[in-house]
Amino acid sequence: MQLSDGEKRDIIKFLEQNKPLPDKYRFLLFKDDREVELVWNGKTNEVTNSVLPFQTIEHIDEPRSEGKIELQDTLFDTSGRQISGWTNKLIWGDNKLILSSLKNGQLRKEIEAQGGLKLVYIDPPFDVGADFSMDIKIGDGDEEESFTKKPSVIEEVAYRDTWGKGADSFLAMIYERLKLIHDLLAENGSLYIHCDYRLSCYMRIVLDEVFGANGFRNEIIWQGAVGDTSAKNKKYIKSHDTMFFYSKSDSYTWNDVFQEYSEASNKLYRYDDAKGRYRLVPVDNPGGGGYNYSFGKGEKLPSNGYRMPRSTADEWLKDGILIVEEGKVPSRKQYMSEDGVRCKDVWDDISSSISKEYPTQKPELLLERIMKASSNEGDLVADFFCGSGTTLAVAEKIGRKWIGSDIGRFGIHTSRKRLIGVQRELKKESKNFRAFEILNIGRYEREHYVGVNSDLREEERQRQKEQKEREFVSLILSAYKAEPVNSFKSFVGKKRDRLVAIGPIDVPVASDFINQIIAEAKQTGITKIDVLGFDYEMGLDFSEAKKDGIDVQFKIIPREVFDRKAVEKGQVKFYDVAYIDIKPIIKKNTLAIELTDFSVFYNQDNTGEIEEKLKPGGAKVVIENGQVIKLSKDKKTEIIEREILTKKWSDWVDYWAVDFDFESKQEIIKTTDEKTGEQKEVWTGGYIFENEWQSFRTKKSRVLELTSASKEVGKGKHKIAVKVVDIFGNDTTRVIDIKI
């Protein structure tokens, strides 16, 4: 390392002033062979190595649609359930923690036993300023209306931290996830990443850094997404998205895929044996005279004098069609089979005009082409931004195993319904399908608490984290009109005769958190508890926590707590989690379940502000006190009319399912013994919801059955679990005991 005296003085000066070194000194001080590198604020090569256990909360095998569910005579239910082999995974949570746990945890062995992860497709949201709200349908028939669902606080926090702070926060997010994906991929695995004009220029450099420049295979242009066509928009109309295709090694899986012949191109020709000769005639005019290009022995092509033996022509043309550009030598690389022409890197034959659950949903044909090219039947594929589940649905239809994840609860629920629909479709066609299970990350880290400066040293970061948590607790207690207490581990406040526990802001309230609260309540003799949380983990059995004479009330923290004026005016309303009421229907030795009530208490909007901003003749749908209300302002009188759209309680229900024997399947996790290092299986104390019957609404069918199919059951006590998912994607479970 050769540094001049001036350079040494400058370096010392920067260090003494606690200023960052200019980039030129980084290259002088540290050897780096990279010619091109993308650098952004906060870039680090550190990758999380967290290993969190996956909690299985629901198992969905055969989508039973018959009127009666027969009692099985065998030890195992063999009516379509996957007894052995791979069960597909749909995982709810932060995909950074999911990827890290897949890469470093026990599930990695299962993945490798399936031949490894062969293909990953991801389509992360690239619009830094995007609105992550979505339209929700309510009601049925002629009375159907829609309203806008805003992201939950947890989703909002994740989106803000990941996409809302500019390009550098997005690059930091995607860089770490790409490194985890690269490590998780099989040696012959591939990655496709979908992006658009906003960040595609950076994405290519990031991918080169993670996969190596030699890992680049294609930049694919998909002419399927048309942007703003307004004449006021002074630029060319956006008409494409970009996909980058990379592989982990040179031995990646590849199968030729084909596009249909382009009727538009007059440079494409086909073989014709009219008059006993081989000629090339235009595809778009097969009956025409065409060009007199002969392939007979010894004959010449007029334009270039090229000679081709008859045997070669027979070989090239025996299966169908040859492409040649006018005036050029025919090339075998341009050969077309009966399937079409070999796929180019510009895809203009797949339309984006499809029925969508999400605005950014991609066509199934797009994913089918990718999957057929870069995986084989039986291979394991994954999508870690799965959205509405298009990748997973295609994988199921064409015989691939899959893993999918999403941070949005609504996305997981939409995927669940879609995948059950695929199961039903395949079953109807007598085709094989796989079971799938819905997983949580069972225990969450809180290292990345909202607002903590990650650039600080560990001690300072910890102090800032603790300060932020104290401020957060103080804010919530003030909004809930509770006073703080300091004599407990789990409880932070008291409201009248009830102690208050508050869940984290950045992750859902999990069963571990509730178990700690209940344990301390038993130990100290507390009998009345309020649990406050922004969100609750999927599959949480609220009734289980209310045993042993402890009165536990679960409440949702509204987003208004972050509005200090609303807190000061006492306008923040905490609402209870949903309540399910069911009725067992017992006839001899059969049991069916009727869903008789479902109560919700949501508030999403400030109705007063919306009424003030509403223009004459305008209308807006809002959520207030557990009702969906349509506000309309008369054009002349400007009088506000309020129409309640939720005519009945079932309008809130989007999906419900029944497990007729809830405690039949224990939740077992694999762990490593700290002393011996040996792998062992441990029962978590929980049970997996076995989805035996379900009814749900779709875009095409808004009808919801409120009575399940009946099932033959034996005499004695039975524990029945009912899961209801509301139109927001939030799920509530109730467990009851029945004696036959």
Q: Are 498 and 512 in contact (CB under 8 A)?
A: no
Q: Are 116 and 93 in contact (CB under 8 A)?
A: no
8-state DSSP, 296: S
Q: Are 343 and 337 in contact (CB under 8 A)?
A: no
Q: Are strands 528-533 and 380-383 parallel, antiparallel or unpaired?
A: unpaired
Q: Are 531 and 551 in contact (CB under 8 A)?
A: no
Q: What's the CA gap between 217 and 205, in Å, rounded?
A: 14
Instruction: Say if residue 497 is exposed, middle or buried (CB neighbours under 10 Å; 0-12, 13-18, 19+).
Output: exposed
8-state DSSP, 571: -
CA atoms within 13 A on the CB side of 66: 9
Where is average pLDDT lowest: 185-194, 399-408, 545-554, 563-572? 563-572
pLDDT tens digits, residue range 136-176? 777 665 556 676 767 666 666 666 656 656 777 788 889 99
Q: Are strands 117-122 and 185-195 parallel, antiparallel or unpaired?
A: parallel
* pTM beyond cutoff 0.85: no
Q: Is the pLDDT of residue 113 over 90?
A: yes
Chain mean position to CA 727: 17
Q: Are 381 and 401 in contact (CB under 8 A)?
A: yes
Q: Is the pLDDT of residue 53 over 90?
A: no
Full set of structural domains in the chain with CATH: 1-32 (no CATH), 88-128+166-245+360-434 (3.40.50.150), 259-342 (no CATH), 458-536+543-576 (3.40.1350)
Question: What is the number of other CB atoms lying within 10 angstroms of the CB of residue 267?
Answer: 13
Q: Is the pLDDT of residue 526 over 80?
A: yes
Q: Is the pLDDT of residue 544 over 90?
A: no
pLDDT of 534: 84
8-state DSSP, 709: P
Q: Are 530 and 495 in contact (CB under 8 A)?
A: yes
Q: What's the CA gap between 13 and 20, in Å, rounded?
A: 11
Backbone φ and ψ for 151, nearest 5 degrees, come out as: -60, 150
Q: What is the mean pLDDT of the chain?
A: 78
457: left (phi over 0), alpha (psi -120 to 50) or beta: beta
Q: Are 559 and 78 in contact (CB under 8 A)?
A: no
The C-alpha angle with vertex 623 and arms to 622 and 625, in degrees rounded to 5, equals 140
Q: What is the mean pLDDT of residues 488-507?
A: 90
| Residue that is written with structure tokens 């289980």 in the block | 544
pLDDT of 469: 80
The C-alpha angle with vertex 395 and arms to 390 and 396, in degrees rounded to 5, equals 100
Q: Is the pLDDT of residue 296 over 50?
A: no
Which helix (DSSP H) or strand (DSSP E) does residue 583 occupy?
A: strand 579-587
Can you count the helices (H) and strands (E) in the chain? 15, 38
Tokens of 175: 């860089």
Q: Are 692 and 68 in contact (CB under 8 A)?
A: no
Output 126 or 182, whichever has higher pLDDT. Answer: 182
Identify the band that residue 1 occupies on the pLDDT scale cut at 50, 70 and 90: low
pLDDT tens digits, residue range 649-694? 998 999 999 999 988 888 887 776 767 777 778 887 778 899 999 9
Backbone φ and ψ for 206, nearest 5 degrees, come out as: -60, -45
Q: Are strands 627-633 and 619-624 parallel, antiparallel or unpaired?
A: antiparallel
